[in-house]
Chains A and B, each alone.
Chain A
Amino acid sequence: MTTDTTTKDTAPGAPAPGTTVLDARGVTMRFGGLTAVNGVDLTVNSGEIVGLIGPNGAGKTTFFNCLTGLYIPTEGEVRFKGKVLPAKSFKVTAAGIARTFQNIRLFANMTVLENVLVGRHTRTKEGFWSAVLRGPGFHKAEAHSRERAMELLEFVGLAAKADHLARNLPYGEQRKLEIARALASEPGLLLLDEPTAGMNPQETRATEELVFAIRDKGIAVLVIEHDMRFIFNLCDRVAVLVQGEKLIEGDSATVQGDERVVAAYLGEPLENDPGAAEAAEVEAAEAAQASETARADDTTTDTAAGKENDR
């Protein structure tokens, strides 16, 4: 699976495989009385794809926002390549962490190429005067930016649609464009927030290939996803977040086999769980239902009962 992919195409300047790129220690995020993320430690090494999974509302995206400077963690610190990350999201991007969004946030009325060029903002310096005076430096930088952007579009397979408006792309291609835009900022770490949400199996498969290709460029990847097959195919390491806390971290097999993970997803009633009473109620109702269906033979009552059960 992941073992046979090579890392020999590593971009120059990328750290040697195995060194720690991202080091989050004790990250805690509280909104008033609600603790969304509680003391999460996570490291990502270069050349690694790390998955972050957990049921809905577990705090995955909040944790992402803490990493990218959209939120300032209440406690704990995040280090990127040994340096503490600044608290502004544009400075985080400049430092080398790029991200995509769970609900696609492209610049809808800009062209595909322009979207990627915006991604190159931190890696270019031309300001207002340079734009108005148009010296030779400006043209050179602009040409170089366009060239890089076209390379990236080629990489994700959107080069033919460079002049289309981002809003007119089909859903899957919008996801790809978001990745290309993030890559344009030449990151050391790419954070993907549910990159395959809403995709069909073929598109998911293609995204998988794309993420491997990104890793092969020497960029570490941290990915949130609900698609378990995708995650376990892709990731070298998977961390599970439940109710803001890290439950377990390890390779695919370890996580897959862990009972607590299964419990977290399938909703086994935990101790002191406020929903325990309701769960018991449902169980009782189901039992009653079962006995009732056993008594009734015809299918019509069966479906009616099923409907009732759904409620």
Chain B
Amino acid sequence: MTTQTTAPKTTGATPTGATTGLIGIPPHIGRALATGGGVATIASTFLAWTWTAEFPGDLTVYGYPGGLQVLVLIAGALTALFGLASYGVKGLRWLVPAGADAAVKFAALAAFATTWYTVVAISAKLGGLVNLEPGGYIAAAVTLIALLGALALPFQRPEPDPFDPDDTGWEQFKHTSSQNWQTVKAAFATGTPRPVRALPSYAEILIIVGILAVALLVFTYGIGTEYDELFVGFLIVAGFGFAAAHRAGLIAQATEITARHQNITVCGAFVAAACFPFTQSDDQYATLGVYILIFATVALGLNIVVGLAGLLDLGYVAFLGVGAYAASMVSGSPSSPFDLHLPFWAAVLVGAAASLVFGVLIGAPTLRLRGDYLAIVTLGFGEIFRITANNLDGTSGPDVTNGSNGISSIPDLEILGFDMGIAHDIGGFTIGRFANYFFLMLLITAVVVLVFRRSGDSRIGRAWVAIREDETAALAMGINGFRVKLIAFAVGASLAGLAGTVQAHVTYTVTPEQYLFAGTTPPNSAFLLAAVVLGGMGTIAGPLIGAALLFLIPNKLQFLDDYQLFAFGLALVLLMRFRPEGLVANRRRKLEFHEEADAPTTLSKTGA
């Protein structure tokens, strides 16, 4: 390709407010480099990158990409596609409704980061650069070229603020760095996407199906990554790829289309989720699937309490525990003090009812408190639940929960003669034990989603939001604050209890140590809250995505080990700094941004 044709030369002072690139390569050459680099990246993934199979993922073969190369291939393809679209190629215009340049930059960044991560990982793992085959060098070079080319694409530079001549050196330094940061931000910014063309509704539904299929594919790939390096690569590509799609305006258009067909989207999402076990050949990843689903469902329940009603509950996992204990005690387990074996539907009712009672008992005295006080009291109650469950063992107190041993050997469920404990063959697919529970849990999730959506958009939901926004004004509008908050608390509690009933059967054993305030394994109260905040408060998709990430990342990145909580904390701080509304922004937040977007934007639509 165009290797080594241009060394990046940096020009001195750039004219203010002009549309130039970050790097002083002429834009048309930059565009060619980026697009060509993307194509070359694709080609390079078909080469061998290393000589030995000791580095996982089969990177030694000429002819087809393997492991991390596949991810690089995807990133390279994205770069090439967005690059071609930036030339205005006819069939690709739909890819970039908000302009291609920022998308090219992010896609090139994705390819570059993944390739260089791979190359560095190979060198580090196998001990030196000698372990790289020429293919590895070529890939590293072409992705670098593509990135440099992409960075040369023009953008509207922000007007620099003049210096204050009285500033000290430190203040000038701060001023300059904030200026540079503004420039970098502007380089990756994009225009407003043009509105979606009116399509026949069947076409829009097909688009939704396509979006969901991509989502399922991405999720299945992520959950199925077999080694640390591949998962890191997956996170890089998924993150930057999403950013690229966002900058291209595709995400905005997808949101617009799904918003038009909300019910279809929700149903479709459940169908897509139900397809997940069929993509798996064994039960290994279905296990992860069902744990993620439990975690996500409880997080969604917490979102009613935190996201809608604004009640900070730090002991929410206790309600999951109450549901699980209640269900396990009536499950016919030998270590249960009650010799009872209720059918599942009755156990579900018992679990939800127990959590409801517990929620009302805790809520009635505590919900008179506001803000921080409520958080501390709920934190206390969460711990009281765990310690009580520990002590009701027959020696410290009456024998109810079997103490720290918990209630074990909980039998598998049998619903309408369908034994959840054994594998079934359905249409050529083997559906194992965890896949069975995955389907059951999906049903519970559907119930929680239904309750969330319907209660959120009603008189009671508006009262919750009003209480959250301004309690005094809400009271003055005739809302019985205490009653409304108690309903939110009780609903949240019983939904968690519902999830708990299934969890008890999935894990075989219910012990007090599963329901901590904070620990390394989700679900615990801190992680639940983090999933809600990370994903986006007051949304449905937010906690689901947040929970999936919070479960998968510690699970997949075993090498983090002792640094898990540290990394988690760091990620949370960064997220709160740069995207405080969470990964999925609430409709209200979106409206906020919508208002700003009404102002005419000065960013060029396409740089060509």
Contact = CB atoms under 8 A, between A and B. Distances in A.
A126 B459 contact: yes
B462 A110 contact: yes
B460 A131 contact: yes
Given A110-B588, A164-B595, A118 B454 contact: no
B455 A68 contact: no
B252 interface: no
Size range of the interface on A? 35 or more
A128 B494 CA distance: 13
A185 B459 CA distance: 13
A174 interface: no
Contact of A110 (B458, B465, B472, B478): B465
B476 interface: yes
B466 A90 contact: no
B477 A165 contact: no
Contacts of B480: 88, 90
A111 B460 contact: no
Contact of B454 (A131, A181, A185): A131
B481 A90 contact: yes
B488 to A, nearest CB: 9
Interface string A115-140: 00111011010111011101000100
Given A109-B588, A110-B588, A131-B455, A89 B476 contact: yes
B451 interface: yes
A286 B544 CA distance: 72
Contacts of A232: none
B608 interface: no
Interface string A74-96: 00000000000000111001100
B459 A121 contact: yes
Q: Which interface residue of A89, A99, A101, A122 has the most chain B CB atoms within 10 A?
A: A89
A98 B478 CA distance: 9
Contact of B461 (A90, A131, A163): A131
B473 A121 contact: no
Interface string B467-482: 0011011111111110
B592 interface: yes
A108 B469 contact: yes
B450 interface: yes
Contact of A128 (B450, B455, B470, B476): B455
B591 interface: yes
A283 B568 CA distance: 68
Interface string A177-192: 0000110010000000
B487 interface: yes
A185 B454 CA distance: 23
B183 to A, nearest CB: 29
Contact of A121 (B457, B463, B469, B472): B463
B460 A90 contact: no
B588 A181 contact: no
A238 B209 CA distance: 66
B592 A165 contact: yes
Contact of B476 (A70, A124, A132): A70
A99 B476 contact: yes
Interface residues on B, range: 20 to 34
B595 A168 contact: yes
A134 B461 CA distance: 14
Contacts of A41: none
Contacts of A98: 476-477
Nearest to A117: B462
A121 B592 contact: no
A127 B488 CA distance: 12
Of A106, A109, A122, most buried by chain B (CB within 10 Å of CB) is A109
A128 B487 contact: yes
A230 interface: no
Nearest to B588: A109
B482 to A, nearest CB: 9
Contacts of B479: 90, 118, 121-122
Interface string B98-137: 0000000000000000000000000000000000000000
B43 to A, nearest CB: 50
A109 B462 CA distance: 11
Given A121-B479, A132-B451, A168 B592 contact: yes
A114 interface: yes
B491 interface: yes
Contacts of B476: 68, 70, 89-90, 93, 98-99, 101, 105
A302 interface: no
Given A110-B465, A165-B591, A131 B458 contact: yes
B157 to A, nearest CB: 29
Contacts of B591: 111, 163-165
Nearest to B469: A107
A81 B579 CA distance: 52
Contact of A132 (B454, B465, B469, B477): B454
A236 interface: no
Contacts of B458: 126, 130-131, 138, 142
A131 B457 CA distance: 8
B111 to A, nearest CB: 39
A107 B470 contact: yes
With most chain A CB atoms within 10 A of its CB, the pick from B459, B462, B473, B595 is B459
Nearest to B473: A105
Interface string B568-608: 00000000000000000000110110010000000000000
A54 to B, nearest CB: 22
Contact of A122 (B460, B472, B478, B588): B478
A116 B260 CA distance: 25
A89 B476 CA distance: 5
A105 B475 contact: no
A101 to B, nearest CB: 7
B466 A107 contact: yes
B595 A165 contact: yes
Contact of B462 (A94, A114, A167): A114
A93 B454 contact: no
B260 to A, nearest CB: 16
Interface centre among B475, B481, B589 (most CB of A within 10 A): B475
Nearest to B472: A105
Nearest to A95: B478
A111 B465 CA distance: 11
Contact of A70 (B460, B466, B472): B472
A131 B588 contact: no
A101 B471 CA distance: 13
B462 A124 contact: no
A128 B478 contact: no
B597 to A, nearest CB: 12
A126 B472 contact: no
A118 B463 contact: yes
B461, B465, B466, B476 — most chain A CB neighbours (10 Å):
B476
**For A93, A131, A138, A168, which residue has the most chain B Cβ atoms within 10 angstroms?**
A131
Contacts of B463: 118, 121
Contacts of A131: 454-455, 457-461
Nearest to A124: B459
A101 B477 CA distance: 11
Interface centre among A111, A121, A185 (most CB of B within 10 A): A121
Closest 10 CB pairs of A and B: A122-B478, A93-B478, A131-B458, A105-B473, A107-B469, A118-B466, A89-B475, A109-B588, A131-B455, A168-B595
Given A105-B476, A142-B458, 13 more contacts: A90-B476, A107-B474, A110-B462, A110-B465, A118-B462, A119-B478, A124-B459, A131-B457, A131-B461, A142-B459, A165-B591, A165-B595, A185-B478
16 contacts: A88-B480, A90-B476, A105-B473, A109-B465, A109-B588, A110-B465, A114-B465, A118-B477, A118-B479, A121-B478, A122-B479, A130-B458, A131-B455, A134-B454, A165-B591, A181-B477
Interface of A: 68, 70, 88-90, 93-94, 98-99, 101, 105-111, 114, 117-119, 121-122, 124, 126-128, 130-132, 134, 138, 141-142, 145, 163-165, 167-168, 181-182, 185
